[in-house]
Chain A
């Protein structure tokens, strides 16, 4: 579960004991190893079961012809097929997550760097706990915060953005009032993924070999130059994988998005306008209560798509982490 712990463990491979003597097996060993193995297998089984469930439940929707689909499912427009229905949702999901990443990554790196390299030790510890605490807040609370507190406060900023940078299509008006747009959702998501990115990058920063850092300082580098020359190169792939983990969370977020976004199914890039985007998870939450049987199948299909996307993102992150273990800056 804790990827950071794992990578740390991989890094500090303990020296092999000189001679491998086989200890006598005691019942406790047996029980423990069996229990651990069972738990490990269970994870795989659960994952497989979820995948199988999604495919089976989505199948009736996959089978249906587009014409039948739109006539049977109230929220699929005439002329839409399953893929054209899910397309804008995928776009919205990724757009929201990308906005969140663009905002959260620099901030997270800053926070992590402050904790690992700039703040006094005691402050760093307290600060670390506080950031971790952010991760414990339920997403509904973030949603409420976004809808009730954040939204009225970002509105003037959005107006300014649109009036000064409106020539860039991204910021084209009319600005939604209230600001129930993908940008607001992205900001809320950014706050939500901040702790996970910070936690992982902080760990990676702390792993930078002290020798590298001391060498940089000894050569006359300032602290910033030391960070730039020694810490960042060492942590680069760690930062990427932390970002991917954040992305994974942002992709699947439901409540916060459902509460701050006026949904719409388009491929538009106008992030200040209402009713343009929607993410998959929020769409499921929204449509599920009134959906009929085949409607539920369609929603589950969108869930399957999300499952695949997140799986790919996570595997990508894993791959980077493992690559990092091999070519870590330490050698």
Chain B
């Protein structure tokens, strides 16, 4: 009977607990070994607090353990409260760094500047391809163009043997069953990036504004990547979108890029990030990326999520600054990227991007 009275408090508590489980990835990352590379004889100590995107959670666990084994006296905390929450907390000065699926917005940038006493910069550290996953008996090799995907998720294409899907898959034997599209029910960076891609490439078939909140009402939806996977798995003729590393045994659709059908891959994701231009009008060392969703480069996979770590250019607390700098250096290094790739299935940064990130990290001033 206690439960009744405490139900509402429990709701809030669960909300935060949910944030922890939202990504549902394995904690992993014990294989990062000596980690920090150049920081072998570490004299660093202290505590680093971060919060933000839950998409980075699995990678962050790997980074924490990799960095921690090289710097045993450092404790890194990361609270996966969500991108928006991370940026807000960063602006308020509650945390030392934020993880976010989107770069700082203008008003947030101003707030962060006030808090840091210098510019805040976005560092792209986590790149992950988003897969279009489906569960359809007898069809293993589904190919979908962007306009078809848009039609399916807009619920305009309702049968698997629709002419548009058939045109994309001339060789497949498509059943006449209903399509059940599954979207995220919580606000998420995955939805944001997926709808950005749809809006940019479907040639008008996707008429909604890109948003982290799914624009259509009703229909099947589920919470978190794990919820999507489970729902797609649990139904027949279902289709959803989720972090590629979590696709498991589900079918993964090939996406049309230029004239080719491309499967999601770490390399393909890295490729599209590599050729994407930087956002203009941001501080010098800020590396926000204007993703080139409509790329036609062979092998590039444009349905990709780029998640940033947001830090100050200058930390007035010297020790804190050193810590942030060392941690970011590790994350941006080949070791750090490999640790994330192994445990979270992310795409390692390209060499060019790695050196750019390293240069930005070097610009962080402490004290």
- CB-CB under 8 A for A74 and B212, given A152-B234, A275-B219: yes
- Nearest residue in B to A264 (C-beta to C-beta)? B218
Chain A residues within an 8 Å CB radius of B352:
none
B84 in contact with A249 (CB, 8 Å): no
Does B223 count as interface, using CB distance less than 8 angstroms?
yes
CA–CA, A308 to B16, complex, Å?
23
Does A310 count as interface, using CB distance less than 8 angstroms?
yes
A286 in contact with B223 (CB, 8 Å): yes
Chain A residues within an 8 Å CB radius of B88:
292-293
Does A207 count as interface, using CB distance less than 8 angstroms?
no
B81 in contact with A289 (CB, 8 Å): yes
A178 in contact with B231 (CB, 8 Å): yes
B188 in contact with A290 (CB, 8 Å): yes
Chain A residues within an 8 Å CB radius of B139:
none
CA–CA, A293 to B19, complex, Å?
16
CB < 8 Å neighbour of A287 from B182, B186, B222, B234? B186
Chain B residues within an 8 Å CB radius of A228:
none
CB < 8 Å neighbour of A288 from B15, B217, B237? B15
Does B221 count as interface, using CB distance less than 8 angstroms?
yes
Interface residues of B in 96-130 (CB under 8 A from A): none
CA–CA, A248 to B10, complex, Å?
14
B4 in contact with A252 (CB, 8 Å): yes
- CB-CB under 8 A for A263 and B221, given A174-B178, A178-B234: yes
Chain B residues within an 8 Å CB radius of A248:
4, 7
Chain A residues within an 8 Å CB radius of B8:
50, 54, 252, 281, 303, 306-307, 310
B54 in contact with A289 (CB, 8 Å): yes
Number of A-B contacts (CB under 8 A): 153
CA–CA, A245 to B7, complex, Å?
13
Chain B residues within an 8 Å CB radius of A249:
3-4, 7
Does B141 count as interface, using CB distance less than 8 angstroms?
no
- CB-CB under 8 A for A289 and B237, given A262-B220, A275-B217, A275-B219: no
A252 in contact with B11 (CB, 8 Å): yes
From A251, A253, A289, residue with most partner B Cβ within 10 Å: A289
Q: Name the distance in Å between B19's Cβ and chain A's nearest Cβ.
A: 4
- CB-CB under 8 A for A289 and B4, given A74-B187, A74-B213: no
CA–CA, A266 to B218, complex, Å?
8
Chain B residues within an 8 Å CB radius of A275:
217-221
B220 in contact with A274 (CB, 8 Å): yes
CA–CA, A281 to B13, complex, Å?
11
Q: Name the distance in Å between B106's Cβ and chain A's nearest Cβ.
A: 15
Does B230 count as interface, using CB distance less than 8 angstroms?
yes
Interface string of A304-331 (1 = CB under 8 A from B): 0011001000100000000000000000
Does B2 count as interface, using CB distance less than 8 angstroms?
yes
A303 in contact with B12 (CB, 8 Å): yes
From A47, A147, A258, residue with most partner B Cβ within 10 Å: A258
Interface residues of B in 174-207 (CB under 8 A from A): 178, 180, 182, 185-188
From A176, A249, A290, residue with most partner B Cβ within 10 Å: A290
Chain A residues within an 8 Å CB radius of B238:
177-178
A274 in contact with B7 (CB, 8 Å): no
Chain B residues within an 8 Å CB radius of A314:
4-5
CA–CA, A240 to B307, complex, Å?
53
Pairs A-B, 3 closest by C-beta atoms: A252-B7, A178-B234, A288-B15
Q: List 19 A-B contacts (CB under 8 A).
A: A147-B230, A151-B234, A177-B178, A252-B4, A254-B10, A258-B223, A263-B221, A266-B217, A275-B220, A284-B11, A285-B11, A285-B14, A288-B16, A288-B18, A290-B83, A291-B82, A306-B11, A307-B8, A310-B7
Contact residues of B with A, CB < 8 Å? Answer: 1-5, 7-12, 14-16, 18-19, 22, 54, 80-85, 88, 178, 180, 182, 185-188, 211-213, 217-223, 227, 230-231, 234-238
